[in-house]
Amino acid sequence: MAHRSGYSELTALVVDNFDSFRTTVCKMLKEFGVGAIDTAGNGNQALKACYSNDYDLVLCDYNLGPGRSGQHVLEELRFRKALKRSSLFVLLSAETDKSMIMAAFDNEPDAYLSKPITTRVLQQRLDRLLQQRDELLRIHEAIAAGSTERAIALCRQKIEKPGRYTGACQKLLGTLYLQHGAHGAAEALYRQVLQVRQLDWARVGLARVRQAQGDVAVAAQWLGEIVRGNPLCMPAYDALAENCQCRRDPQQLQAVLQQAAAVSPRSILRQKYLAETAAGNNDLPVAASAYRRTVRLGQYSCHDCIENHINFGRAVAALFREERRAAEDLSRDALRVLADIPRRFEPTAEQGGQTHLVESQVYAGQGNRLRAGVSLQAGEETLQQLPAPLSVETQLDHAMALSVNGKRREADKLLTGLIEHHRNDQQALEKIDRLLEEPQSDANRRTVAELNRSGIGHYNDRQFKQAIEYFMRAKRLFPNHIGVHLNLVQALLGEMQEYGREEERLKLCSATIAKIESRIDHTHRQYGRFAKLRHSLVQLERE
């Protein structure tokens, strides 16, 4: 079989955990005339080989037995920039699991071949890939050298003479224009492509242009349409997430990330982004399970980090305050992950302290007072040896651990000191707010005031459903805010007095009353209002 010349100059690495397959592929490559071939039997060996050699071609199986998979190898090589842009990475696999392929595609393998592969299939594919590599080499070199203008000029040259690589060059050129801020040129390019056919990549590109031009609402609408038409279009989700960031809409951002994570559940970075966003929204069930998945996906990933592990513990600990049952299910896993930290990472003394304090909260949630106390003590001992001042996060971990260990007064004292110390640090105050009855930061005060105002407006117009929605949002964001809880009860009661009682609503109402009751005493300035609402609820329940 005739094939392109130039194979003899290539160096290749073949990665597979099966000896026989490595031999087969090596034989194929030798047949093509490849000059130098190395092999690796697992992910670690593959990475090591790639760090000490510049291969032109890596043929890597997805499934490499226990440990890193082919996807992890590619992910790390891309992350550490250990692969030249001119190198080809071909992922092979006997399985064609959708979520696996989707996650692998995030790291852009040059090709994906499903096993069994034959000599002919491999050769055809390599011929084409090498041809494309050669054709686009100068463009990639310009990009790697940081000379965007030169890369743009080269792309345009190629596109002027239509051919096999026109599409690839158009895609590259659009991205380059966008990076370069040449919005007009990008728009013209995408429109030209779209005139011929409605291709998703060009539609996403055009939406990105709109977004960059500041027309965020139109971009959101377009991207939404793309995702509805093609739910597997990951670049559209990524652009949508950016869009939500621009609009400062963390609720919508979470919704988009949840959708993206459902479509491609093995993507660690999106999972982590979702976990952080949900934690910011104080949507604890979502945050806790997303952190759990992030930690799991991180086992062999270069994107794993100690923060994900501690944050998983924090999310579960916080979840105990809202949904006991769900938290209990996750708590064993959380404790295991926390206990594993010293072995897996090299935690700083402060991180070690945080780990103990979070652990203490999870034990307390489980009702294991003894263990909770031991961990709290271990955490405090670690903190004492650290130079002041401690980070806000650490002190919050401490305050929460104190609180769930029955040391409410100490916790309050710590928080008061913390607020005093950070009087002028809005960012720090925003973090502290979650634990307080009333927020201290300007931003959070505004948020609460706005949500309350909207809720009360609807309540006064007897639009109870909308009012309840606003108070629920406020309640989720500020779980200790008594005023918000009372407003919610009032709106729920109002709705049932108008339209009749409803079991779900009644349940929510009494749960909210119970929560307030655990945090309020008769000296509280809202106690009178609370007592009145509780009375109304009792009457409604008797009806």
Partner 1 sequence: MSDKTGRRPIDFSFVLASSVHDMKNSVSMLLNSLEEVIHSTPIENEQQRRRFGTLQYEASRINTELIQLLSIYRMQTRRLPVNLDQHYVIDVLEEQLARNHMLFETRSVGVEMDCDTDLAWFFDADLVGSVVHNVLVNCARYTRKALQISARQQAGMLCISIADDGRGYPPAMLREPDSDTVYAGEEGTHLGLFFAREVAAMHCEDQRRGRVELANDSALGGGLFSLYLP
Applying CB under 8 A, the residues found at the interface with partner 1 are 20-21, 24, 94-98, 114-116, 118, 120-121, 123-125, 128, 164, 166-167, 196-201, 229-233
- CB nearer to partner 1: pick between 231 and 347: 231
- How many Å from the N-terminal Cα to the C-terminal Cα in the chain? 88
The least CB distance from residue 192 to partner 1, in Å, is 13
- CB nearer to partner 1: pick between 70 and 365: 70
* H helix runs in 67-213, sequence order: 70-79, 98-106, 119-144, 148-160, 166-180, 183-196, 200-212
- CB nearer to partner 1: pick between 270 and 515: 270
The least CB distance from residue 86 to partner 1, in Å, is 21
- CB nearer to partner 1: pick between 233 and 372: 233
CA angle, residues 365, 369, 371, in degrees to nearest 5: 95
251 vs 436: CA distance, rounded Å? 22
The least CB distance from residue 25 to partner 1, in Å, is 11
DSSP labels, 421-456: HTTT-HHHHHHHHTTSSS--SHHHHHHHHHHHHHHH
- CB nearer to partner 1: pick between 105 and 345: 105
The least CB distance from residue 66 to partner 1, in Å, is 18
The least CB distance from residue 452 to partner 1, in Å, is 39
- CB nearer to partner 1: pick between 18 and 51: 18
- CB nearer to partner 1: pick between 113 and 378: 113
- CB nearer to partner 1: pick between 30 and 413: 30
Q: Which residues contact 277 (CB under 8 A, 6 or more apart)?
A: 250, 253, 254, 257
The least CB distance from residue 23 to partner 1, in Å, is 9
Q: For the CA atoms of the chain, what is the radius of gyration?
A: 29
164 vs 444: CA distance, rounded Å? 55
Is there a cis peptide before residue 389, judged by omega within 30 degrees of 0?
A: yes
The residue whose two tokens read 């920039």 is 81
> What amino acid occupies position 322?
E
The least CB distance from residue 267 to partner 1, in Å, is 17
The least CB distance from residue 205 to partner 1, in Å, is 13
509 vs 357: CA distance, rounded Å? 33
- CB nearer to partner 1: pick between 1 and 511: 1
Q: Which residues contact 205 (CB under 8 A, 6 or more apart)?
A: 174, 175, 178, 186, 189, 190
DSSP category for residue 161: S
**Backbone angles phi and psi of 190, in degrees to 5:** -65, -40
- Do 296 and 309 touch, CB atoms closer than 8 A? no
3-state helix, strand, coil in the chain (%, to 5): 70, 5, 25
- CB nearer to partner 1: pick between 169 and 477: 169
The least CB distance from residue 271 to partner 1, in Å, is 20
- CB nearer to partner 1: pick between 233 and 533: 233
Provide the token pair at 108.
Answer: 């852009």
Q: Which residues contact 303 (CB under 8 A, 6 or more apart)?
A: 75, 79, 268, 269, 272
270 vs 261: CA distance, rounded Å? 7
- CB nearer to partner 1: pick between 120 and 423: 120
The least CB distance from residue 97 to partner 1, in Å, is 7
- CB nearer to partner 1: pick between 200 and 438: 200
211 vs 515: CA distance, rounded Å? 43
* H helix runs in 282-323, sequence order: 284-297, 306-319
Q: Which residues contact 254 (CB under 8 A, 6 or more apart)?
A: 274, 277, 278, 281, 283, 286
The least CB distance from residue 191 to partner 1, in Å, is 16
The least CB distance from residue 120 to partner 1, in Å, is 4
The least CB distance from residue 105 to partner 1, in Å, is 11
- Do 247 and 220 touch, CB atoms closer than 8 A? yes
- CB nearer to partner 1: pick between 128 and 408: 128
- Please report how many Cα atoms fall inside a 13 Å half-sphere around the Cα of residue 274, on the Cβ side: 29
- Do 219 and 249 touch, CB atoms closer than 8 A? no
The least CB distance from residue 208 to partner 1, in Å, is 18
